[in-house]
Amino acid sequence: MRMSKKAKFFSSFATAVADLSGKPATFVAAVAIVVIWAVSGPFFGYSETWQLVINTGTTIITFLMVFVLQNSQNRDGKALQAKLDELILTSQAANKFVGIEKLDEQELREMSKTLAAKAECVEDKADEKAVSPNNAVA
């Protein structure tokens, strides 16, 4: 499955922006911009234009970051799912778990309840073995 040049560019761009946005220096720069904006308030008489600058800037950045970060998160989720599928396929786990992320909400809930019941059963058996007289150390 080949990605187009535009899709590949956007993925690379999204990864770079996501990485950059998570750095402490980026946070410090954002705080500095807000402080500079706040300090400049008296020079602009706290005008509506002065307020509009920060409101518009933050809104535009937030709007664009949603798409960039969502792209990055989607790719990370798909990569993680592929790794988990590979582990399932190469282990003794039931292959029925491959692709369960595509199930609807009700099917996922039912599978989760079934797994929780199995886990509880395994835990009970482990507890029984731990207290059984046959396992006592002499």
- DSSP secondary structure string, 18-83? HHHHTSHHHHHHHHHHHHHHHHTTGGGTT-HHHHHHHHHHHHHHHHHHHHHHHHHHHHHHHHHHHH
Per residue in 104-128, pLDDT (tens digit) is 989 888 888 988 888 888 888 888 8
The full set of domain ranges for the chain reads 5-97, 103-138
Residues 30-48 have pLDDT tens digits of 999 999 999 999 999 999 9
d(CA 28, CA 25): 5
The pTM of this model reads: 0.63
> CB within 8 A of 101, min separation 6: which ones?
81
